[in-house]
Structure 1
């Protein structure tokens, strides 16, 4: 039985606590959040001990591992502190928002010899896994290019995230798509060319990028095109728009999470639902499936 503490009791921390209720061998014992009300809300919901200082939780709770679910910019201190106490780590993406913070976390993990994983939950997304499976089986052949769009409506940066100005569509969303692109083709990124625009969110009091585009070049010379925005209309059917296309020299796969569909264009074309059943926060077929559904943002 793994004894687990959660640092960051907001949307993601609450989600982890809920998901782990269904995971054999997981014993979530405590949650910490700078907001006492937030810590107590999550603690009360799942019968946990509540703390407002993660260092007190690490000292007092008997833990084997910690989930760091704090905002994007606030991963370093809790991750380093937990590693120094010999606790294994699951850290929300992105790992960090500065190279210095990422290096400090890596150094602490290596020195302590603990396990550390970044929470790229799209590796458990049935649609993304389908693309990975097709690529890994060689059905795509050489992956020549990928086009991946992952965006949110205005709601996410203006209402859902109080700290959006300290993040961006690149940190919050494109961290996912960079991981997906490299996971699908199995290549290493050698260069990145990125452009973006800003001004609309700033006019609403959130001074960060509206749109970010990135062109990744891999070690075999192939490319991936990524786009993430935080300015989709709130009238969209979901707060998340997620579309992926991988084109190989043998076939191509297209995923549209709005339509919950996967299309594989090979010598014989096929189409299938990405997830048969509900699109609620309970995941596919009414039960958690290890990734966030389209009604829950990244």
Structure 2
């Protein structure tokens, strides 16, 4: 599904096109071909299809790679692709285990091309604007951050791989790495401890695959303490698709509060004194919205990825960012299952 979003967004960029698609599953390749046929200006005669990424690499038909395969396949794919000189955009989560994420982070240290991790939620225009205002001092010293995502259940995927922790890394890695990345990015600080409560309350409980029942969590709370003293919390519910807004983020500083809601796209600034809330609406181009389901974030991420490739600038979302988002998610999962605080140093 994310691969289709990437394909559509590539054709919104200047001077970019898809030249190859690789997937071991034929139905996924057919889906990509159908997506390409729906795009004005896409030249299907220039696109090659592969079922093995090593064959695609050997063919030499691409200038950059976007890796959007199932989470648990990232490590093996990256061990091959990092032997090339091709820029990478790797979908989140970077890997499903801390060991694998640390391995990739270490490999990237000696990898010259751009290596970018697809933690695109920081690129949602209303969220990006809220962050811009926060970093400009609109709330004063940042003290408390709250992120709520109330949404629909996990969608069906090929082979139902996303129903099991061993494939995804767990919901708080697979889904919530975005939010742990936002916490670090907004607060500009590093976590020291995580505490969580969560479980599987509603979703997928009646499903069974090859005699196995899904074990992914569908809800939970996570609280994170940061080095500088700021606190952040995440409230996730994946059986709340009736919510008016899917994401709500509030940031409180010592002088004011900022709040943003998605997809509403309204930022509210609430000073402590005088009490005088003001509102700012962030508009997103309809073509950008239509190209994906993440409120424009994929497009703006691609713009910066392309700029980094063309101008030789460092990636703005690094392997370190990817590893930290996985590590925080794993800490949350451990806390939920073991019912205790988890120090980040335990997972170093």
| Matched-pair contact (CA < 8 Å) for 2:289–2:296 | no
Cα gap change, 1:283 to 1:54, in 2 (>3 Å) = closer
Which moves more between the two structures, 105-114 or 86-95? 105-114
1:129 partner SS? helix
CA distance in 1, matches of 2:243, 2:157: 17
2:257 matched residue in structure 1:
252
Q: Which residue of 1 aligns with 2:298?
A: 291
TM-score normalised by L of structure 1: 0.83
Cross-structure match for 1:187: 189
- Unpaired runs of 5+ in structure 1? 1-10, 293-298
In structure 2, the partner of 1:59 is 58
User: Secondary structure of 1:111's match?
Assistant: coil
Asked whether the 8 Å contact 2:149–2:246 carries over to 1, the reply is yes
Which residue of structure 1 lines up, in the alignment, with residue 13 of structure 2?
23
TM superposition shift of 1:283: 6.5
Query: Which segment drifts farther, 124-133 or 262-271?
Result: 262-271
Report the counterpart of residue 83 of structure 1 in structure 2: 82
Distance in 1 (CA, whole Å) between partners of 2:251 and 2:243 is 25
Greater helix share, structure number: 2
Aligned to 1:265: 270
Q: Given that residues 169 and 228 in structure 1 are in contact (C-alpha distance below 8 angstroms), is that contact kept between their aligned partners in structure 2?
A: no
Distance, in Å, in 1 between the alignment partners of 2:147 and 2:82 is 34
- TM score, norm. by length of structure 2: 0.72
Partner of 1:227: 235
How many residue pairs get aligned? The number is 275
Checking the alignment, whether the CA contact within 8 Å between 2:134 and 2:258 is kept in structure 1 is: no
Task: State how 1:1-298 maps to structure 2 within 5 Å.
Answer: 11-43=1-33, 45-46=35-36, 47=44, 48-154=47-153, 156-157=154-155, 159=156, 162-166=160-164, 167=168, 168-205=170-207, 206-233=214-241, 236=242, 241-266=246-271, 267=274, 268-275=276-283, 281-282=289-290, 289-291=296-298
Residue pair 1:109, 1:115 contacting (<8 A) in 2 also: no
Q: Which runs of 5+ in 2 are unaligned?
A: 37-43, 208-213, 300-348
Question: When you count strand as a share of all residues, which structure comes out higher?
Answer: 1
| Residues 103 and 276 of structure 1: CA distance in aligned 2, closer, same or farther (over 3 Å) | closer
- Give the aligned CA root-mean-square deviation in angstroms: 2.6
Counterpart of 1:6 in structure 2 is none
Post-superposition Cα deviations, 1:128-185, rounded to whole Å, max 9, x if no partner, equal: 112211111112111110110124313x24x367322233431232111111111111
Report which stretch shifted further, 195-204 or 181-190: 195-204
